[in-house]
């Protein structure tokens, strides 16, 4: 008698389509949430590999973003995590702050990244330094110390948890801004926005931001704009990528009802 056991499946093993799916299909809402978590974070957890022991080591670091959406950190060469990044550029970032109640019910995102040091006295360093200090003014006290340096932390892949039952995987490029527009016009726009405090207040209020009298613009790119008020930070993503600095101003004035 032929043995058909190899072709038969246990009755308890139902069709694959009936099994619960751990990951959801990544849609535009998931991408927007992922980008907002990364670009709106004031700080993140940074994990590196200890060059001496090989064990994972986690620290907290202030974060900003470059004009293409790449996370940026400022770290001291004396720290263990900097030595880890120099020895092995593979690292991970965790963004997403818990609110009230169960901390696991709040969105968070883990990024698998490659770190690249930013050389001083280069256009990249000048741009990144300006954007970072717009977001973290107190970092100006030590940003130019000889042992401090900036790293671009480029995402290779990401795991997004939007809350219970909302898990997604994203490729790194979903978190980046195509054709970021690194031109003098965009850099000048960032400077101009720093002087538009009244407009920033109205813009933040019309977005439903927390009550404050100190909102200011702190970084802009083709995908959105950041506002800061003390320890509060708001990232507003545009509906679509804008083409020019003037388009950003037109949007801000319309949203702020400032003519």
In a domain, 250, yes or no: yes
Q: Are residues 165 and 218 in the same domain?
A: no
Contacts 24+ apart (CB under 8 A), 123-126: 125/150
Q: Are residues 38 and 119 in the same domain?
A: yes
In a domain, 121, yes or no: yes
CA nearest neighbour of 215 among 259, 175, 255: 255
* Rounded CA separation 150/179 (Å): 22
Q: Which of 176, 198, 232 is the last residue of a domain?
A: 176
Residue 77: give the domain boundaries.
22-176
The residue-averaged pLDDT of 200-205 equals: 91
- Where residue 5 falls among pLDDT bands split at 50, 70, 90? very low
Q: Are residues 75 and 104 in the same domain?
A: yes
pTM for the full model? 0.86
The DSSP code for 231 is T
Q: pLDDT value at position 212? A: 66
In a domain, 200, yes or no: yes
In a domain, 9, yes or no: no
- Total number of domains constituting the chain: 2
Q: Which of 155, 176, 197 is the last residue of a domain?
A: 176
Q: Are residues 204 and 219 in the same domain?
A: yes
Dihedral, 34, 36, 37, 39 alpha carbons, nearest 10? 120
The DSSP code for 121 is S
Query: In the predicted model, is pLDDT for residue 91 greater than 50?
Result: yes
Q: Are strands 56-65 and 43-49 parallel, antiparallel or unpaired?
A: antiparallel
Higher pLDDT, 17 or 111: 111
Q: Are residues 165 and 185 in the same domain?
A: no
Q: Which of 150, 176, 202 is the last residue of a domain?
A: 176
In a domain, 2, yes or no: no
Q: pLDDT value at position 184? A: 81
Taking only the tens place, the pLDDT of each residue in 143-191 is 999 999 999 999 999 999 988 888 999 999 999 998 777 778 888 898 8
Q: Are residues 161 and 200 in the same domain?
A: no
Query: In the predicted model, is pLDDT for residue 80 greater than 50?
Result: yes
């Amino acid at each position: 008698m032929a043995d058909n056991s190899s072709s038969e499946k246990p009755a308890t093993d139902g069709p694959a389509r009936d099994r619960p799916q751990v990951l959801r299909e990544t849609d535009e809402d998931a991408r927007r949430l992922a980008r907002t978590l990364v670009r709106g974070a004031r700080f993140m957890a940074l994990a590196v590999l200890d060059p001496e022991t090989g064990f994972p080591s986690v620290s907290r670091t202030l974060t900003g973003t470059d004009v293409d959406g790449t996370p940026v950190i400022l770290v001291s060469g004396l720290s263990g995590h900097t030595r880890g990044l120099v020895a092995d550029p593979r690292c991970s970032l965790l963004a997403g702050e818990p609110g009230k109640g169960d901390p696991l019910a709040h969105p968070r995102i883990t990024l698998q990244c490659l770190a690249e040091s930013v050389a001083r006295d280069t256009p990249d360093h000048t741009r990144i330094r300006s954007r970072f200090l717009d977001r973290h003014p107190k970092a100006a006290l030590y940003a130019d110390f000889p042992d401090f340096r900036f790293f671009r932390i480029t995402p290779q892949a990401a795991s997004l948890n939007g809350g219970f039952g909302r898990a997604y995987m994203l490729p790194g490029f979903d978190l980046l801004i195509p054709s970021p527009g690194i031109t003098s016009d965009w850099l000048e726009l960032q400077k101009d926005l720093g002087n538009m405090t009244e407009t920033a207040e109205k813009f933040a209020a019309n977005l439903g931001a927390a009550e404050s009298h100190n909102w200011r613009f702190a970084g802009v790119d083709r995908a959105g704009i950041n506002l800061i008020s003390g320890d509060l930070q708001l990232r507003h993503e545009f509906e679509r990528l804008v083409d020019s600095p003037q388009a950003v101003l037109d949007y801000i004035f319309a949203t702020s009802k400032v003519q």
